[in-house]
Every structure is written in C-alpha cells, then in structure tokens.
Structure 1
Amino acid sequence: MITVEEARATVLAGIGVLEPERVSALESIGRVLAADIVSDIDVAPFDNSAMDGYAVRFADVANASEDAPVRLRVVEHVPAGAFPAMPVGPGEATRIMTGAPVPEGADAVVMVERTAEEEDGAVAVIMASVREGENIRRKAEDVRRGEVVLAAGEVVGPAAVGLLAAVGAAQPLVYRKPRVAIVATGDELVAIDEYPGPGKIRNSNSYSLAAQVLDAGGEPVVLDVARDNFDDTVAILSRAPEFDLMVSTGGVSMGDYDVVKDVLERIGTMDFWKVAMRPGAPQTHGTIGGTPFFGLPGNPTSTMVGFELFVRPVVLKMAGHTALDRPRHTAVLAHDVKKKPDRRYFLRARATRQSDGTYVAALSGAQSSAMLTSMHHANCLLVLPEGESFFPAGATAECIRIDRKEGSE
C-alpha cells in the first residue's frame, strides 16, 4: 500500500501533453492555447464614439451649460458601421452613434442626454461642457496590430473568445481534449432507463465518471459494461489503446469476481494496487498497450474521490494545463470527527466562510462510500491525515475545494 503522494507522483510521471489541433473560436472555450495569438489589426481600428450624442470641437462647448447652452449646426448623421464624410468645423457638430468613427475636426463627444434638438435636428443644443477627448475611444487603445493578445499556455475564457474574434483568430491552435474510455464492471449493473430487478442496480458510476471527465475538459466515451468474468473483461479492457486514457470502476478489490487486477497483470503492466486512503483504498493504476489505465473502486463515492485525486490531474495535464491542483484552505471543524489512524481520510464536507474570513467545515452527510448524496451536497473534501484517530470540534483541517477550478483561489 502506497501513500497518496506516491500514487499521484506515479500517475503523473509519464503523462505528456497531447498534440494540438485547430478549432473554432467558440469551441476553444476552456481549452489551453498551443500558440500565441497575434492581432492583425488595431483594436479599436479607429477613433470612435463611446456614446450616442454629438461629436464636437471642445473649444466650441467649453463653457456650455443648461443656463447658457451652445447651439451648433449639425452637418451630418453618422451611425455605427458608416464613415463620416464631413469634417466638423467651428460652430458645427455631427450626430453620432456609439461605435461610429469620430469625424475629422471633432475632439470630444457630448452624450445625447445633455443635449436637445432644434429645427428638426438641424441644430444641436449643447447643455453641458466636456473635456477634450471625453467619450472618445482612441484607435489601438486596447490592442495594437502585431501585439500578442493571448499567450500560449493560457486557458481560453469568455473574454478571450471575444479577443479571438476581435483580432481575427477564427481557428486558434489548442491542445486536444483527451478521449477517456469509461468501463463499469459487474453482473449486477443495468441501464439507467431500466427498472432494476432482484439483485440489480443501475449503472450510475459510468455517468458520474463521464460527468467528471467533461468537467475536467476531456471527452468521455462510455463503453459496454464488463461482466464479472475474465474473458469479457479482457475483451473490453483490451480496447484501451484506442483512447488516450481508460478508467474502469469496480472489480479491483478482493472479491471472488473482482478480476480487473488480474486482467491488468495479463494484458498490461501494473504500477500499484492499493493506496493508504479512505474512501477507495483499492486504486489500481498501470498501462494497457501504452495507454494509462485507472481501475477505480466500485462504490460510487470511492469512484468519484479516486477520480478527483488521481485521474482529474492526468486529464488536465494531457490537455495542456499546468495548474493541476484544486484550491485548498484550512477550516475549523464544526463537530468531532473520528477515524481509523492507519490511512488518510477524504470526507465529504461543506465549508462555510465566516464574517472574519475563516472557514467552518461540517460533514455533508453520511460518509458511507456507497452514498452519493453527501458527495452531491459537498463543496470540499475534508482531509484528515494518517496517524490520528480523533479530531475534536474546533480543530483545524485542510479542505480541497471541489467546487473551484484549478488555479483559482
């Protein structure tokens, strides 16, 4: 039996980044850039109005007020998407919409709310002064042509997608999503749309694992259930080389029909079989045909915790991420917690931030590894170390925030 740290180091040691691919700007959300994005234009490409209103000469309106308005002749109307044909001279103004280019001669824009019209719009009545340059967005004030706007290694978020579109990067180069095969094992499993008969249960693990793969940025492929016999399990696990990663659930313990460990030793290589942790001590890892393989326990919470600790960082690393750890913080226990001292516990809990900035953590429900409800209600895994068996209320413990992304706070 190895430690959690030893297991994690082992699973990450041989993992490299997958090859890059080009995808659409929108499809790049959440992906890691494999190359810099360089702007082909200035953003903004021209001086433009930040307001609906009137483009004016500052010198004409410097002293304008409601008590002493300034009247200017309107020489042109310029909507967004058009380009001004007339310069603004002394005593003149251009009616302008947000985003429209500022005409030559104008050096400020007065918002429409501070103006009025006369003579059917031929005259603008300016009732407030403005500063020189006010309400004008300058050419290249956001991005200059040739500038690197997004660097290789950055994770694409919604604002980055907007930048991709603004600079014409319609097909950014990103690292490929890992294709992750998911294999549930067991004669007792039936489909989720089937009513389970005597001795049967629905195959929930394939769905929770697929959801975890999606959440980590991978592409899940749910394979057929491997029944509890050697040949059937060999046939399905032998498909591992078709994928970047394979994850099975169940069949890794000491039961009469737990054959995954034996199959792995027959058709692949095994790095470890047990980890000093709870839930989920039977954590199997190795390779099949060069593809990393994880044999997770069959109990639902054990499966999910094992994925969180060992599989998720592998999926992230394959996809080009460098931040592989969920945020952690300490929390004060809201109640006593007992455990066995021989292994590290990862308990489902809920951490609540207090007014002084500290956190208080309470278990989110029953801690049986067969129960998913406490995992659903949890926002963290409460980490209780080896060597101790009793943690009184008021003691502190570390929380792994499963509700927050890697690299966040």
Structure 2
Amino acid sequence: MNRLRVTPGPVLTLTAAWFATRALMLWLLLHSGARELGGGSVTREVWRLYFHWYGVLADGSFPVHDTLWQYPPGAGAVLLAPGLLPGLTYFQAFVLLSLAVDALTAAVLLRAGTRPGRSPLGAAVWTGGLPLLLHLPLARYDVQVTALAVLSLLACARSPRAGGVFGALGALVKVWPALVLLGTPRGRPTRTAWAWAAGTGAGCLALFAAFFTHPLSFLREQGGRGVQIESLGGTALNLARHAGWPGRSRYRYGAIEMVGPHVHAVATASLALTAVAFGLLVLWRVRARHWSAATPYDAALSAVLLFTVTSRVISPQYMIWLIGLAAVCLTSRHTSQRPVAALVLAACAVTTVAYPLYYHEVVHGTWAGCLLMLVRNGLLTAAAVLSLRRLWRAARPAAGAGGPAAGHRPGSERLADRALSVS
C-alpha cells in the first residue's frame, strides 16, 4: 500500500510562518487601544458584548429582545466555550480558543495540500491571508465558523456524511456554511450529505430547545437590519451624500447603518439581488455537466462571494470566510478560482485600511472613505462575477469529451481536469 509522502520543506516553512504571523497578531491585539488600531473597538466586542451574552447563556436562555443578538443558536455554544478554560479571563480564553481553531484549520489545509495531486498553496493562503486583517480574526468568532466550513468541504470528498454534519454545525453557528454543500456531486453524495446535514441540524435544534429558552429569538432581530455603510448599497448612499442626499449614518443593530430617504428601497434591492444570485447558483447546479475534485470547493467560494456582495451588511470579519474558502480551493491543482483568490486577498488588504485604520473616514462618508469602500467593494464584486463565470465554464464538458455524460468517464474526466488546470 502506498503511503502518503510529505515533503518537510513546505511543512516547516508554513509552521514557522504561522507562529511568526500569529505572534504579530497577538502583539497587535495587546496594543489594540492605540488610535491607529481602532482605539479598542476591535477587542471591545469580546470583553463587553460576547461576555454579556455568555452570562445570559450561562443562565439557560438565549438573549431575547436584544437587537444585537442576530445569530443562530449554535453561536451560543461557541460563546460558552471560553468558560470551559479555568484560570483565564473570558477574553483570554476566547483568544486562546481562536488561536487553537486557527492552528487546526491551517493543519487541516496543509494535510489536504500534501496529498498526491494537491497543493500546499491553500495552507499558505490561510496562514498569510488572515494576518492581512491584523488582529481582527482573534476578536471575532468567524474563525471558528470558517473552520467548520473548511472541514465540511474537505471531509465531503471522502465522507459525505461527515461533510453534511460539519456543514450543518457551521450553519447553526452563522447560517452561511450551508452554502458549502451546494457543489456536492450529483446523486448519492448529494443525497447523503444533505440528509445528514438536515438530520444534524434538526437534532441540534432540538437539544438547544431542550436546554435553553428562546433558541430562535435571533429571527426577530435579523429581519430589522438595514443598510450597513460598508455594503455596496451603503457605499452608494454615502456617495449620494456628496450629491445632496440628506441621509446620515447611525449606530443600529450592532453596526453603522445608513438612515434617511430611499434606504428601504436600497435594502429591498439588495434582497432582490441576493434572490437573483441564488437563482443563478441553482441554474448552474441544474445545468452543470462536469464535476472535478475542485468543483465543490469552487462552488462554495462562488456562492459565498455572491451572497456577500449582495448583502445589506459586509462586515470586515466576513473576509475571514472568503479567505478560508479560497484556501480550500487552492488545495486543489484543478481549481478554477486562482485569480479569484488573488482578488479576495487584495480586498482583505483594503478592508484593513478601511477598518480599523480609517474607519472614521468611512463613517463620515468623506471622499477618502468613499474611495476606500469603492475599491474594496469593487474588488469583491469583480471576484464574485469572475468566480461565477469561471465556475460556469468549468462545469462544461471538455471539447471532444463526447457529450454531457462524458464527464463521468475516467478518460474524459482526466481530459477535462487538464483543461481546467490550463485555463
């Protein structure tokens, strides 16, 4: 039996890079009170808001009538987890767990990338991409939910059951990981993954309902969200202020949102665009004829990108999701998303300039703030369009492969994979 041979060079290099970059992120976290780093606004969410919710959850109830609680019940488990580490403050335990999950994600990506026909580039993107957001990833629980999405995608290839379970757990924490199951191969793998996801989700919801009160309280608050200033709609409205629009920004629902005339219309347009994006993804799924090993990864990145750019809210931590999914794509040498990953990393760098470095400019809608958001959202929009286009092209059978069913024959599949690796 052939054993997996791991070249020590990339492993040692990436391990050293992970420790160096995470040390830098921790240093920034310790100095987050500096005005240039947001004056403590990045870390405040953990020691004030998360810790407050921890107290409510520890009493056996989900936050109710709390406009800031907009998360599925699985988020409660993540926020309770720091309490399992004795001798540490809540903030210290939260950061330690975030680092541990970050390290686990890097290790899983590296292991996947060292298999035959794979690439360690995915682990490199995760290791080097996360620090582009400075210390923000350590002070949000999006690293944890992204790890579940990564595990779901990587597990699905060998065990659709495990992929479905991880996908459901991720969706229970922050909804969007349900999208990672969009690209599962047709037939039995899809039925198995989706069935196990549904069963896991139903079982976990039943457990939350048994041990906590108000597990679905987030639904009431989620519907009231408006247009965040960092979304595409918010950027358009901020620019409109320079043309005489009388609206302004205001802190609502845990974010800075735009208020004034026509904001509701912009929010409705965003929801309509999200529906269109979903329709395009369903159409791709119906018309796709060729699945390579990278197709589930590419479909997940494309879906989350489309839902991100059409959302009423594009918070900085959303970029963590995209880094993780781009990293999974790049573990495969047959991915169609390499240029998309480059655009995502560029958008991460611009996001950091906007928040926390120049967030004051963004909030007040100055020309500098508007330009930053135009560049960042332009990169994300270009990434989403390019991602869907390349996903659609990759789903076609290779020329001369012999028709729609040919993609399932071993010879034609190799031909299509070679064509994808060149494109």
User: TM-score normalised to the size of structure 1?
Assistant: 0.25
- Which one has the bigger strand percentage? 1
- Which one has the bigger helix percentage? 2
User: Between Structure 1 and Structure 2, whose CA radius of gyration is higher?
Assistant: 1
**Which one scores higher on RCO, CA 8 angstroms, separation ≥ 6?**
2
User: TM-score normalised to the size of structure 2?
Assistant: 0.25
